[in-house]
Structure 1
Amino acid sequence: MRRTSWSTWLGTSMEYYDLTLYGLAAALVFGPQFFPEQDPAVALLSSFAIYGSGFLIRPLGGIYFGYLGDKLGRKFVLVVTIAMMGIGTAAIGLLPTYAQAGLWAPALLVVLRLVQGFGSGAELAGASLLMVESAPTHKRGLFGAIVGLGTNSGTLLATASWTAISLLPQDVLMDWGWRIPFVASIITTAVAMYLRVAVKESPVFVEIRQNRAENVAATKAQTSLWADVKASKRTFIVTLAIRIAENSGPYLIKTFLVGYVAATIGIHGSAATTGILIGTLLGFAVIPLTGHLTDRFGRKPVYLFWTIFQFLFIVPALALIHTENAFWISAVFVVFICGSTPGPFVVETSWFVEIFGAKRRYTFMSLVKEVGSIFAGGLAPFIAAAVVAASTDSWLPIAIVMMAYPLIGIIGAIFAPETRGRDLTLEQDAF
C-alpha cells in the first residue's frame, strides 16, 4: 500500500503539473516563441487552442487505455500513461522555436500536446482504480484521497517552479529559462516509473481475472462495449452529472474567477493568487479529512455537503469580491480552493470505483471523467466569460451560471446509490 500510494501520488501530481505548467507557459511564453508573426491576442488564442486539443483527445485515450486496463490490468496501463505524459512534457522543453524551425515548431507542439492528452485520458481513472481497489474496504475513501493530494501537489509544484524561474531576467526567461521546469519533469517521471513498475497489480483485478478464467464460457459471451454502454446509460447519466459539477469548480474558480477579478473588478491578480496558494496548502489537511469522512458517513452525504456548500457560497462570494477589498477577495479563494472544489473530487474518487461494475470499470470511469471534463472544465469558463461580455454591470447572471453546475451535481447525487463497502468484484454496476 505504501508503494502504491507513492506511485499514485506522483503519477497524479505529474498530470496536474503538466496541465498547470502548460497553462502558465501558454499565457506568458508560447505566443512569442511559437507564433511570433501573429497579433499578440491571436498568438495567445493559438497557444490555448493547442492546450484545448489535449482535452479533446483525452476521451479517446480514456476509451483505448480503459479497454486495455479492463483486459490486461491497471498496472500495465499506468506505466504506459506516465511514460507518455512524462516524455511529452520533457520534450516540450526541448522543442525548437518558430525562429529556429518555422512552422515545424508549432506543429511539433501540437503533436506533443496530443501525446500528453492521449496518455492522461486514462491516468486519473487508473490511479483512482489502483488506489481504491488496493485499499482495505473500510479505508477506501481515505486512500482514494491520495489522488486528490496528487492534484494539489502537481498544481503547487508547477506554480512554485514557474514562480522561481520568473525571477530570471526577462530575456533569459524568454530565451531558455522557460524550458527548465519542462525538462526537469523527467526526474519526477523517472521516480514515478520506478515505483509503478515495482508496484503490485490491484488485488481486486487479480480476483476478477481469476473469476473470469474459471468461467470461460461467460467471458466469451461478453457483449460489445457499446451494448454495455447502452445497458449502463442510467449509471452514465448520474455519474456524468456528478462529474460535471465536480470538474467545473476548479476551472470556474482558478481560470474564470481569477481573470474576472483582475480584468473586470480591476484588482491586482495577487489577491486571487494569494488566496489560491493558501487554499492549496490548507487542502493538504482538508483532502484526507474528507476521505476519512466518506469512510465514516458514506460517499453520498459528504458529496452533497460539499456541493450544497459550494452552491450556497457562490452569492456571498461574489458579493465579497465586489467589495473590491483584497483581503475578502483572498478569503473567498481560500474557501473555494481548500474545500468546496477538492471536496467533491475526493468523494468521487472512491464513489465511482464502487458505482461501476468490474466488467467495464476502467473504460466507463475514464469515459465519464473525460467527457465530463469537456462539458465542465472546457465549457464552464467560456460560458461564464460569455455571460460577462453580454450582461450588464450586475453580477447575478454570473452567479446563476456558477450555481447551475453544483445544482447539476446535487440532482445527480440524489439519484445515485450509497456504495460504501460494496464488493468491487461484482461485474454489474451498483444500480
Structure 2
Amino acid sequence: MSSASGGTQKPMLQVSSGDVAKIARAAFVGTALEWYDYFLFGTAAALVFNRLFFSQENATAALLASLATFGVGFAARPIGAFFFGILGDRIGRRPTLLITIVAIGVATGVIGVLPTYASVGLMAPVFLVILRLLQGLAVGGEWGGATTIAIEHAPPQKRARYAALVQVGSPVGTLLSSGAFALVVLLPPESFDSWGWRLPFLAAFPMLLIALWIRLKVEESPVFHQLLEMDETEKVPALQVFRKAFGRLVVAICAALLGVGGFYVMNTFVVSYATNTLGVDRQVVVNATLVAAVVQIIVILLFGRVAEKIGPGRVTLIGGIATAAAAFPLFWLIDSGSAWAITLAVASGIGLLTITYAVTGALLTELFPASLRYSGVSLGYQIAGALSGFLPFIATWLIGLSDVPTSLPGVIILIVISLLTALGGFIGERLRLTDKVVVSDDR
C-alpha cells in the first residue's frame, strides 16, 4: 500500500470559533443545495422520467433507461473530482466551490424547462443526459471541497463534528427534494405529468442565489494559504494522488462506498422496487424517505461526536458491520408491502448506513496531505459514487431476469458494499493512528 502521511507543516493559522462555525454553515448550505439537486433527479428517475422522457413501448426498458440516466451522473463524478481537485489544490478551495455550486444549480433548474419525449422525441433523453452529466461533474468537486475547507478551518480536536455538519447537508437535501415531490404528487395525475414535476427543479434557481450569497462570505482555507506561502502546491495534484497515495485512495473508496451506494440502494432502488414491482403507492415510499432523512440528521450529529472519542475509522467499521447484519431483515420488511414496515425498513436502513456516512469526511481528510487533500478526498468519494451509482440499475435488471420478483439482488449488493466499507474503516483507522504518531503538528 502506498505511503503518504499528512506531511510536516507549519502550525495551522488560528481561526476563531465564530469563523469556523460560519465556514461550516456555508459548506453545509452549499452541500444541502448540491444534494437537493442530485437527490431530486434520483426521485424523478424512479417516478417521472421513465414515463415522460423515454418511449413507453416497453415499460421495463423505459425504467431501466431512466435509472441508467441517473447512473450517468455518477460516472461523471470522478471526472469532476479530477478536474475540480486540480483547481481546488492549485487556485484555492473557495473559488472552486463557487464554480461547482453555480454549475449544479443551473443544471438542475434547466431540467425543469426541458421538453418531454412526446414533444421532441429522442432529443428529450439526450438533453436530460447532458444536464445529468453537468450535475455529476459539478458534484464531483463540490463535496470534497466543502469538506476540505470546513475541516481545514477547524481545530484538530473538533474536526469530526464540523465534517459531520457538512454531511447534514445530505439528509436536508433529501428532506427538501422528497418534500417537494411529496407535495407535487398530491396534484391530479395529468397536472403532475404536465407541469407539477417541474416545480421542484425550478426551485433550484432561487436556492442557488441564497447558497451563492452565503458562500461568497467564506474566507479561503488557512491551510491553503500556508501551501502558497511555502510553495508546496502540486502542478497536477490529482495525478499525484494516484502516484503517491494510491493505496490510501483505495482505502478512501472502500470507506465511502456504503455511505454513497448504500443510500441509493435503500432510497432510489427501494422507491423503484416498491412502486414498480410491489405496486406500493408512491406516496408511501416518498414519505418513508422523509422519515429516514430526519433519522439521518440525528445519526450524523451523534456519530460526529462519537468519532471524536473513538476515531472515524472505528465508527466506519461499526456502521458497516451493523448494516450488513441488518440487510435481510430490512428487505423482509419491504417485501411485506406494508406502509409502516416499509417506512421502518427505509428509516432503519438509512440510519444504519449513515453511521459510516457521518464520519466519511473526517476519515478521508486524514488520509491525504494538504497539498493533495482536495483531490484525494474528492476522488475517493466520487469514485465510490461512480462504482455504486449503477447499483439501482443493476439490482432492477437482476430482478427483471427472474420469473418471480425478488429483493435478493438488493440484499446481496447491500451486504457486499457494507463489508467493503467496514474493511476500509479498519484500515483507515490504522493509517490515521500511524500518521498521528509520525506527524503531530498538523493534528
Question: Normalising by structure 1, what TM-score?
Answer: 0.86
CA distance in structure 2 between the aligned counterparts of 1:203 and 1:266, rounded to whole angstroms: 53
Is residue 75 from structure 1 mapped to residue 88 from structure 2 by the alignment? no
CA distance in structure 1 between the aligned counterparts of 2:52 and 2:81, rounded to whole angstroms: 31
**Which range moves more in the overlay, 173-182 or 84-93?**
173-182
Is residue 120 from structure 1 mapped to residue 139 from structure 2 by the alignment? yes
Which amino acid is the alignment partner of residue 78 of structure 2?
Answer: P
Is residue 377 from structure 1 mapped to residue 396 from structure 2 by the alignment? no
- Structure 1 pair 40–281 and aligned structure 2 pair: CA distance change class (3 A): same
CA distance in structure 2 between the aligned counterparts of 1:193 and 1:211, rounded to whole angstroms: 30
CA distance in structure 2 between the aligned counterparts of 1:223 and 1:83, rounded to whole angstroms: 24
CA distance in structure 1 between the aligned counterparts of 2:195 and 2:325, rounded to whole angstroms: 46
Which amino acid is the alignment partner of residue 360 of structure 1?
Answer: L
- Structure 1 pair 91–275 and aligned structure 2 pair: CA distance change class (3 A): closer
CA distance in structure 1 between the aligned counterparts of 2:172 and 2:389, rounded to whole angstroms: 19
Instruction: Work out which of the residue numbers 164, 188, 194 in structure 2 matches 1:145.
Output: 164
What secondary structure does 1:176 align onto? Answer: helix
CA RMSD across the alignment: 3.1
- Structure 1 pair 420–138 and aligned structure 2 pair: CA distance change class (3 A): farther
Name the counterpart of 1:191. Answer: 210
Name the counterpart of 2:222. Answer: 203
**Which range moves more in the overlay, 61-70 or 373-382?**
373-382
Q: Is the 1:54–1:116 contact (alpha carbons within 8 Å) kept by the matching residues of 2?
A: yes
CA distance in structure 2 between the aligned counterparts of 1:262 and 1:231, rounded to whole angstroms: 46
Which amino acid is the alignment partner of residue 345 of structure 1?
Answer: Y
Name the counterpart of 1:172. Answer: 191
Name the counterpart of 1:340. Answer: 352
Instruction: Work out which of the residue numbers 7, 10, 13 in structure 1 matches 2:32.
Output: 13
User: What is the total number of aligned residue pairs between the two structures?
Assistant: 420
CA distance in structure 2 between the aligned counterparts of 1:60 and 1:384, rounded to whole angstroms: 26
Name the counterpart of 2:375. Answer: 363
**Offset, 1:201:** 0.8
Which amino acid is the alignment partner of residue 333 of structure 1?
Answer: V
Is residue 239 from structure 1 mapped to residue 252 from structure 2 by the alignment? yes
Q: Is the 2:28–2:168 contact (alpha carbons within 8 Å) kept by the matching residues of 1?
A: yes
Which amino acid is the alignment partner of residue 344 of structure 1?
Answer: T
**Offset, 1:125:** 0.8
**Offset, 1:102:** 5.2
Which amino acid is the alignment partner of residue 315 of structure 1?
Answer: F
- Structure 1 pair 265–36 and aligned structure 2 pair: CA distance change class (3 A): closer
**Offset, 1:388:** 7.5
**Offset, 1:323:** 5.5
**Which range moves more in the overlay, 316-325 or 285-294?**
316-325
Q: Is the 1:384–1:402 contact (alpha carbons within 8 Å) kept by the matching residues of 2?
A: no
**Which range moves more in the overlay, 323-332 or 19-28?**
323-332
Q: Is the 2:40–2:177 contact (alpha carbons within 8 Å) kept by the matching residues of 1?
A: yes
Unaligned stretches of 5+ residues in structure 1 = 213-217
Which amino acid is the alignment partner of residue 369 of structure 2?
Answer: G
**Offset, 1:255:** 2.6
Q: Is the 1:137–1:421 contact (alpha carbons within 8 Å) kept by the matching residues of 2?
A: no
CA distance in structure 2 between the aligned counterparts of 1:271 and 1:171, rounded to whole angstroms: 20
Q: Is the 1:242–1:409 contact (alpha carbons within 8 Å) kept by the matching residues of 2?
A: yes
**Which range moves more in the overlay, 356-365 or 47-56?**
47-56
Which amino acid is the alignment partner of residue 255 of structure 1?
Answer: T
Instruction: Work out which of the residue numbers 235, 242, 251 in structure 2 matches 1:229.
Output: 242
**Offset, 1:348:** 0.9
Name the counterpart of 1:305. Answer: 318
Deviations 1:11-30 (A, max 9, x none): 11112111222223333433
- Structure 1 pair 95–70 and aligned structure 2 pair: CA distance change class (3 A): same
Q: Is the 1:384–1:401 contact (alpha carbons within 8 Å) kept by the matching residues of 2?
A: no
CA distance in structure 1 between the aligned counterparts of 2:141 and 2:410, rounded to whole angstroms: 33
Which amino acid is the alignment partner of residue 108 of structure 1?
Answer: F
Name the counterpart of 1:280. Answer: 293
Is residue 155 from structure 1 mapped to residue 167 from structure 2 by the alignment? no
Question: Normalising by structure 2, what TM-score?
Answer: 0.84
Q: Is the 2:51–2:62 contact (alpha carbons within 8 Å) kept by the matching residues of 1?
A: yes
Which amino acid is the alignment partner of residue 149 of structure 1?
Answer: V
Which amino acid is the alignment partner of residue 414 of structure 1?
Answer: F
1:282-431 mapped onto 2 (5 Å cutoff): 282-321=295-334, 326-337=339-350, 339-379=351-391, 382-383=394-395, 386=398, 389-390=401-402, 399-418=411-430, 419=432
- Structure 1 pair 7–421 and aligned structure 2 pair: CA distance change class (3 A): farther
Unaligned stretches of 5+ residues in structure 2 = 1-19
Q: Is the 1:256–1:385 contact (alpha carbons within 8 Å) kept by the matching residues of 2?
A: no
**Offset, 1:333:** 2.0
**Offset, 1:224:** 7.3
Name the counterpart of 1:130. Answer: 149
Name the counterpart of 2:9. Answer: none
- Structure 1 pair 186–270 and aligned structure 2 pair: CA distance change class (3 A): closer
Q: Is the 1:391–1:397 contact (alpha carbons within 8 Å) kept by the matching residues of 2?
A: no
Q: Is the 2:171–2:297 contact (alpha carbons within 8 Å) kept by the matching residues of 1?
A: yes
**Offset, 1:263:** 5.2
- Structure 1 pair 331–3 and aligned structure 2 pair: CA distance change class (3 A): same
**Offset, 1:354:** 1.3
